[in-house]
Amino acid sequence: MPMYEYRCERCTQSFTLLQSVHVQAGETICPHCGTNKIQRLFSTFASKVEGNVGPPRMGGAHGCGSGGCGCA
């Protein structure tokens, strides 16, 4: 189940809920004041990456060609 972030239009509190993707607008209730006048917020997410991951290497693709600049 995805996690959604909301902001209550009545009490202005923000909260996060783990809920089904099938939940319709108006079905979610603010845990602070009990109203269903809430707004779903856009949020960022993170993912776990295994191993040692560094920045992408250019490999001369930006035009130097020789790799002498250290990008090879």
Pairing assessment for the beta strands 38-41 and 14-18 based on DSSP bridges: unpaired
At 27 the pLDDT is 94
Average pLDDT of the segment spanning 19-26? 89
Average of per-residue pLDDT values in the chain:
80
Can you give the C-alpha Rg of the chain in angstroms?
Answer: 22
DSSP symbol at 66? S
Higher pLDDT, 56 or 28: 28
At 58 the pLDDT is 55
Higher pLDDT, 1 or 68: 1
Alpha-carbon span 31 to 8, nearest angstrom: 9
Q: Is the pLDDT of residue 28 over 80?
A: yes
